[in-house]
Amino acid sequence: AQSVTQPDIHITVSEGASLELRCNYSYGATPYLFWYVQSPGQGLQLLLKYFSGDTLVQGIKGFEAEFKRSQSSFNLRKPSVHWSDAAEYFCAVGARAGNNRKLIWGLGTSLAVNP
Amino acid sequence: DAGVTQSPTHLIKTRGQQVTLRCSPKSGHDTVSWYQQALGQGPQFIFQYYEEEERQRGNFPDRFSGHQFPNYSSELNVNALLLGDSALYLCASSPTGMNTEAFFGQGTRLTVV
């Protein structure tokens, strides 16, 4: 079955510290992988995506993610966290839906940033 | 470009009532997907519309139905509302294709009392 697991429900880091949010997926074919961020009262914003090619993907706001097929993982990283990064982060896999894709989501990781 | 717009932003309904939520996709996008996000959970796929037809459906009962209009806008209808239907309903639009990115609206917060 297709699924996405985000093992960490809640993470707290200090401002300026590095960050890694974990994501593991289960998908039979080549995965299309996404990280979205959701701030309070806001919609979902795409941080980055992996379709193919270079397994290290750069995104917006200084985020990057690395696709590791052998570990079925797509972890999100940022070298130095800012207070404005506090939000809910979702990993998703794009599963085939006819000629399009539907997104299968993890439960999310809530990030808190201490000053 | 207005992006994906959803209306209304908030809604309170009583159990047993019916509700209609609306979505206008981003310009140039012809595929609309609907997701339900319960509090503290990740979004769950409800269904996807393309060419005015429901193309894929998630694990939701028939009380959830939809429609897509010729201008690609879409409606989500929920009949016989239950307390458990209280959630944030998200609309996403994308161009047709396998290598496309979905853009999300701000969502409609539905509360069933």
pLDDT in tens, A40-84: 877 899 999 998 889 999 999 999 999 999 999 999 999 999 999
Residues of A with CB under 8 A from a CB of B: 4, 32, 34, 36, 41-46, 49, 51, 90, 92, 96-108
Contacts of A32 in chain B (CB under 8 A): 98-99
Contacts of B90 in chain A (CB under 8 A): 43-44
Distance, CA of B85 to chain centre:
13
| A27 close to A95: Cβ distance less than 8 angstroms | yes
Strands B10-13 and B108-112: parallel
Looking at residue B1, its pLDDT comes to: 64
Contact criterion met (CB < 8 Å) for B56 and A97: yes
Percentage of chain A beyond pLDDT 70 is 100
Nearest alpha-carbon partner for B86 in B17, B25, B2: B17
Q: Which residues contact A77 (CB under 8 A, 6 or more apart)?
A: A18, A19, A20, A21, A63, A64, A65, A66
Contact criterion met (CB < 8 Å) for B45 and A100: no
Contact criterion met (CB < 8 Å) for A96 and B98: yes
Nearest alpha-carbon partner for A18 in A60, A63, A53: A63
Closest B-chain CA to A101? B98
CA separation for the pair B35, B74 (Å, rounded):
13
Cβ-count burial of A64 within 10 angstroms (0-12 exposed, 13-18 middle, 19+ buried)? middle
Q: Which residues contact B71 (CB under 8 A, 6 or more apart)?
A: none
Q: Which DSSP string corresponds to A24-76?
A: EEE-SS--EEEEEEE-TT--EEEEEEE-SS-SEEE-GGG-EEEEEGGGTEEEE
pLDDT in tens, B63-112: 999 999 999 999 999 999 999 999 999 999 998 877 788 999 999 999 99
CA separation for the pair A64, A77 (Å, rounded):
5
